[in-house]
Structure 1
């Protein structure tokens, strides 16, 4: 196959399908190469309110709304022993424009996004494994292998790498850097019979803080819950146990989780994901833009993954369209995309790197809305990456207090675990 495309996209997940839809809306000829057959299992099921803006831009919101996903109005953070908890209610944040989000089963959700891109006119090839890419003066050449084992080649003016944790082009160019001290492993599965919150709090994600690790509990349906444990890789290796055994032991030693899973039954379990939290030294180069997890990946503690992926997919594809229009292989807008993507990630990273510290927990779990600081935190964790000055200075005060808490114990001491 020697068809010349405007853009080839590696990966059909949320970032890739968003890029494909955005480029098709601009009239570009797009080929999506996805190594798996959709629908397929994937993790990262809790979305953020600011995803809604991207859904509406793509014109896919009616399809997502019709799918009947669980509504998510808030996020709850619990101590492992159940002694203390706090809740972010997205509808009560004075700086937050979107009052709710959704919890999704990714197999169904990702398939909706990919089919939407296909309906808009993107050519989608599933079970197409990309094996090689070459950046040439006048084109990008991609080689890929299909399910029957046959080899194919395609050319385009631009390449969008949305290959997720495979990180295809960046790994080939040795661009990946890990965040120091944040090599994690997640062990997770789906369960029925989990006792989740009801009433106004129905649909909330629960984050349960242990001393050096944490659980997520995400209600996907009335009787289906995603439950996962995240811990340091070094701690996991030191236990010298099978992943499911580590998970089961952590459930039994975490009261908040054990109480909710007393009648739980496994639907699927034993899934493992490792090597969290990395960045790539370059997100753009001549004829190449990296989006989604192929631009970097951070700890999922605040459910930022899908929102960041779709946002970068949308913005990255727009700068590609502009570069194609200008007949250029590298533009200022592409470099600005790289800067803004790193800035958006940093909005969450400032919370993530502090979340594992005791002094942060002592303030975060005992919030005060003085000066509407909780409203600013709510806005940031709802996924608003473009901060107004009103939220920016409040967040600066909050993190200054976190710094002071480490040295002067401003808040009431609490035990972690």
Structure 2
């Protein structure tokens, strides 16, 4: 077994995780001239869910200098998002190029194995060192820095030291779990059942590349085209509802497809899945995102329901900002700075912007107004901006959103719109 790695020449920053948050932080720090080490437990490329990006992702990727590589990788263009009722009676399409408050007209749908590998390779090309198949096992923080112990693929143990740690460990939530900081959203315990499929009948023409979100009574499907004949399809439902069915995930998925006309009509040429992937209890928050010499980014800062495809945007934005504030703290020689505290506020605000939509998405009043869209006062344009990924909304856009949510409240109390069935 190899001896522990010498700590005589410590790193500036060690990053746990090489996903979008970790790679964005690594690239940011490497470009600033910092000595960065990324410890990734898996071997890239690897399967990962969350393939639909938002137009405002481009802003971060241009800052990181990786957008040209992404745009030339052959990913499918995404010009809009479609929301359908499960019975197929209503559809709302948001065209990102037609939103009055939306600056970026399109995004891309990505197969995450390829996409995440592009981001991580770019970090290496910028000067970060990446060690894959390296599982972090322990962490110690003191006044002088952080000491990280990890095991490599051969089973040998190593220790590295750094001035700062960025936890981008994803849903494993390494540092927050050690400090017992994770809290699940009590009323939002979900299960997701998903896989990639061939033969799915997806929109063509001007709508080619659109993501489809199919709203059922108390659950929903995503359908994300990745290639001409590869589509990511997932079912998200309450964990309690799933358990009450007493069936295996694959059976639940197939039955939901069969009983949802808007999905079934697109699955006529699809072979039943031999297996499915499952994720449970994935929506949570951490009660602290920063502590002395530690910053949590991406899913390690909190994770919310993927209905509005905000995951990669939130991850890359928080990773980029985490890298910037860590660089500043090192320059100042401080273990905690006002910029780190501002990072926590900014990250919570970005998550909160989407959470207010997610909480309402599962309610009947929101769905009934959303599927009877009116762009009066440009309310739908304000929704378009949020769902395109704009996380710094001007005051006039925020007021339009408040107006829409106010109408949802009025509809709940007084039934101001048609009571369309959600099924």
Is the TM-score greater than 0.5? yes
**Residues 256-315 of structure 1, C-alpha deviations (whole Å, 9 max, x = no match):** 101101101367741011112110000000000000000000000000000000000001
Q: Is the 8 A contact 1:192 1:266 kept in 2?
A: no
Distance 1:268 1:392, change over 3 A: farther
Equivalent residue in structure 1 for 2:224, among 203, 218, 221: 218
Aligned partner of 1:31 among 27, 34, 37? 37
Q: Is 1:62 aligned to residue 73 of structure 2?
A: no
For 1:372 and 1:210, locate their aligned partners in 2 and report how far apart those are by CA, in whole Å: 27
**Mapped partners of 2:145, 2:349: distance in 1:** 30
Structure 2: distance between partners of 1:402 and 1:268 = 42
1:358, 1:285 → 2: CA distance?
40
Name the TM-score, length of structure 2 as normaliser. Answer: 0.98
**1:178 aligned to 2:153?**
no
1:6-405 matches, cutoff 5 A: 6-265=12-271, 269-405=275-411
The CA deviation at 1:170 is 0.2
Calculate the aligned-residue CA RMSD, in Å.
0.9
Q: 1:32 to 1:411 in 2, by over 3 A?
A: same
Q: Number of paired residues?
A: 417
What SS does the corresponding residue of 2:418 show, helix, strand or coil? coil
Q: TM-score, normalising length from structure 1?
A: 0.99
| Structure 2, unpaired ranges of 5+ | none
The CA distance in 2 between the partners of 1:372 and 1:268, in whole Å, is: 46
Deviation >6 Å, runs of 4+? none
Asked if the contact 1:48/1:307 (under 8 Å) is kept, the reply is yes
> What's 2:420 paired with?
414
Tell me how far apart the structure 1 counterparts of residues 332 and 271 of structure 2 sit (CA, whole Å): 57
- 1:2 to partner: Cα distance: 2.2
